[in-house]
Amino acid sequence: MADTIFRKIIDGQIPAHKVYEDDKVLAFLDIGPLSRGHTLVIPKEPAETLDQLSDESAAALGRVLPRICRAVIAVTGVKEYNVLENNGRGAHQAVMHVHFHIIPKPGESEGLGIRWPAGSLDGAEGQQLAAKIRAAILS
Ligand code: 5GP
């Protein structure tokens, strides 16, 4: 497991503006915010990508994520926001330690910009694909 900058923040080796901490989760302000209040929520478990995370850490993250979103809304006064979690360098992950971004969207020019090249789902292909994913979840 890579020794990332987030590991150093968890260990207190480098500073961060912390907003929440418990035994499994840490949240702090992003050093390069896309908008005011841009916050990162990370598990203390050193998983690189979400698919590698334990159920225990995932549950701990899921429990506090909405609570931290509510706090960011309350403090920034911005009700619209994106929650983003990148996995892999090709998917724009720069720090190889799972992290959820909470990014307030105060207006068109601030916050997260998204390109969304939607295709269309064929009925038969959708049926097969969903069946395969269902089976993979159970295995
Ligand atoms: P990613 O592209 O991996 O999803 O996002 C990594 C995020 O971590 C970026 O938004 C970047 O600004 C943030 N970041 C990188 N290094 C540091 C740091 O040392 N401290 C803090 N607070 N944020 C960091």
pTM: 0.97
Residue 99 a catalytic site member: yes
Q: Which SS3 state, helix, strand or coil, does residue 62 take?
A: helix
**Shortest-distance Cα residue to atom 13 of ligand 1:** 30
**94 CA: nearest ligand 1 atom:** 3
* Distance separating alpha carbons of residues 64 and 54, to the nearest angstrom: 16
What's the whole-number mean pLDDT along residues 32-41? Answer: 98
Q: Are 36 and 29 in contact (CB under 8 A)?
A: no
User: Predicted confidence band at 3 (pLDDT cuts at 50, 70, 90)?
Assistant: confident
Ligand 1 first shell, C-beta below 6 A: 5, 16, 28-32, 86, 92-95
What tokens appear for 13 in the block?
């080796």
Share the mean pLDDT of the chain: 97
For a ligand 1 pocket test, name from 4, 40, 89, 93 the mutation site with the most ligand atoms within 8 angstroms of its C-beta.
40
* Confidence (pLDDT) at 1: 57
Please tell me which residue in 38, 92, 97, 99 is annotated as part of the active site.
Answer: 99
